[in-house]
Amino acid sequence: MPLGPDPYLVSIQDELVALRHELHQIPEVGLDLPQTQQRVLKALEGLPLEITLGKKLSSITAVLRGKAPSNGPRRTVLLRADMDALPVVEQTGLAWASTNGAMHACGHDCHMTGLVGAARALSHKVDELPGDVVFMFQPGEESDRGAELMIAEGVLDAAGKRVDAAYGLHVWSGLDKAGIFYCRPGTIMASSDMADFEFVGKGGHGSAPHLAVDPVPAMAEVITALQVMIARHFNIWDPVVITCGHVEAGVARNIIPETATIEATMRAFSKQAQQQLFDMVPRVVTDVAASHGVTANVKLTNLYPATINHDEGAALVAKTATDLFGADHFVEMANPMGAAEDFSLVLEQVPGAFAILPATPPDKDPAQVHGNHSPFALYDDSVLLDAAALLSELATRTLADAN
């Protein structure tokens, strides 16, 4: 029989749901999240936590000092939740929907609530913990590298020593029915980098292209050439993705523009493939442009490395989820996801793992629901208890290893 969530967590489930609904109504974007920070701090009031606020971002670092003796080296574990929302106008129709022009369309309200639940559950049994827990509430996950800023401000050493392990999770709108944890050893999510290309030619009249230097054909050929580059130069067992999501040129049908631009995203699943993109993409773009007599300006911006789970961390997630909820509530993923996550920056420095938690409402087909980042994305409240239970038990078992 599965162990089930901590009875204390079950007793506060309604409070967690109410907290998530409040957080959902006050979404804030980026690194500065004053309302969100204050609401999380209120939820942590009364707990035996040492709290530090971020200097360059609205982060919260809270340390819980376990009171049980340790028979070996005292261990410290970090649990993380991201806090920021997206600049998306919500269209879910929920009674507690956001109305401020932003939205927790990626479920970070669920993450914060789950981590608050874990903090309350672990505080409830602080006398039994033979080590310390660091709770990392992080703004700026959506492209702002908030994890990097928190690391620079000392979150990994907040308890007085480097954490021995770190765990986080991410809810998913779809993928499976709610409450089934997904994880895998090795790469679980892709790297993410930005590519910006500007093609500079010589504008002119659309009727006389021979008197101009048209940047549009160069731009169009680059889009195709990048896909050919991937197919002929990258290992098919270590794939990469380049998507040219925004292309722009010209102002009228009969004007050859002076410039054309591409904004693209690049994804990879290993450091080697990520570096190969940075090596090859500028050469392909500039060479194709030169063949058209056009100048190319290339800017590549590194965002996040691939999120790579450590084997022991992934194994602990699998065992803990299975013990708590049963074997039918855990899936070892066959392949990583193409989305990216800045918890990767934490896992580059300390062992641990990241898990995925589907949150499809019970009356919805996971294959048909709107995905993460959609203005229609829905996340079922039932996963709040699941997230809190998994995180608190991961911490408990990590600290128990000291004995």
Q: What phi, psi does 174 have (nearest 5°)?
A: 110, -155
Closest CA to 41 of 59, 17, 26, 25: 59
Which distant-in-sequence residues (6+ apart) come within 8 Å of 225 by Cβ?
284, 285, 288
CB 178 within 8 Å of CB 362? yes
CB 398 within 8 A of CB 79: no
Strands 75-82 and 131-138: parallel
- Catalytic one of 6, 28, 82, 341: 82
Say whether 32 is catalytic. Answer: no
Distance CA 383, CA 389 (A): 10
Q: Evaluate whether 215 touches 293 at the Cβ level (below 8 Å).
A: no
Distance between CA atoms of residues 236 and 233, nearest Å: 9
* Residue from 90, 132, 142, 381 carrying the catalytic annotation: 142
Q: Which of 276, 284, 267 is nearest to 223 (CA)?
A: 284
What one-letter code names the amino acid at 31?
Answer: L
Please confirm, yes or no, whether 221 is among the known catalytic residues: no
Opening angle at CA 300, ends 150 and 203, nearest 5: 140
Residue of 260, 257, 266, 201 lying closest to 234 (CA atoms): 266
Distance CA(73)–CA(259), nearest Å, equals: 62
Q: Which residues are catalytic?
A: 82, 142
